[in-house]
Structure 1
């Protein structure tokens, strides 16, 4: 099992791209999350607001849960930035800016899991399988208010990375 810790995280303000999906849909050939990553890297990487990002992290967020891990949720990929800054379209034009969404992940207590260093996205898929198994028997309960993966842009080398996965917990 991956190592994990519990820590309080403050509110995250993110800009990026989101889509509504389910784990069942993502397990099949019609998964939407891979295309969401492609969209993020194609548009956000060249968008002028990239310079306004507050840190060197990319966030993969799971929020607006319909019920729990078996229901629909919103998958969102983005980066932290100051929501009070105006959105500009200097490099990508108005159509790309119109696709950019803003979300707020609420402050919460999180169980934070760290993956092994390995090939992407394999290590993340393995980690989620372990996390789901962990919560099948754990006394600790997920809050389903907003979970996220945090990718360090400076730690991605040769298609490999270690990723931190934050699971909002009750209590």
Structure 2
């Protein structure tokens, strides 16, 4: 894990609204469906320098409330039909993992949740913008917006 200062940037893609409670039920799984749609509609328009992101934003409250998820990328060959998402600048803790999809992403999120559940954690989550950055099909970094512990 490391701290990283991120400047704001835009990415284009598809958005859904969900919550962690629904995603844990087999009938929920909106995020999985979102990624299937992304790979059928957006992925064919990726350019050679595109970076793929999963952006979590528009939080209702904390990890228990609703939030938006955008499966998106930079540098699409034709971006006219996709919504724009802005990742906000700020301080982010970066967690990383390698392995088989989607298990490695889930395991990385479990690291995030365990870190912030620790009573000795020095940070609070900002619940503004968080994002997954896909470095390859087998490697992810999860950026969590943070604030100093209040």
TM-score by length of 1: 0.78
| Of 2, 6, 25, the match for 2:3 | 6
SS in 2 for 1:165: strand
Unaligned ranges ≥5, structure 2: none
Q: Give the deviation of 1:81 after TM superposition.
A: 3.8
| Of 10, 15, 18, the match for 1:18 | 15
Q: Is the 8 A contact 2:53 2:73 kept in 1?
A: yes
SS in 2 for 1:119: coil
Q: Give the deviation of 1:87 after TM superposition.
A: 4.0
Question: Deviations for 1:49-97, whole angstroms, at most 9, x for unmatched residues?
Answer: x34x8x3421011100000111100011001249xx9844xxxxxxxx2
User: Is 1:107 aligned to residue 101 of structure 2?
Assistant: no
Q: Is the 8 A contact 1:112 1:166 kept in 2?
A: yes
Q: After the TM superposition, which residues 1-171 of structure 1 pair with which residues of structure 2 at under 5 Å, given as runs?
A: 4-29=1-26, 30-47=28-45, 50-51=46-47, 55-81=49-75, 87-88=79-80, 97=81, 100-115=82-97, 117-137=98-118, 138-152=121-135, 155-156=136-137, 161-171=138-148
SS in 2 for 1:129: helix
Please identify which structure carries the higher strand content: 2
The structure with the larger Rg is 1
Question: Deviations for 1:17-68, whole angstroms, at most 9, x for unmatched residues?
Answer: 0100000111111220011001111011234xx34x8x34210111000001
Q: Which runs of 4+ in 1 moved over 6 A?
A: none
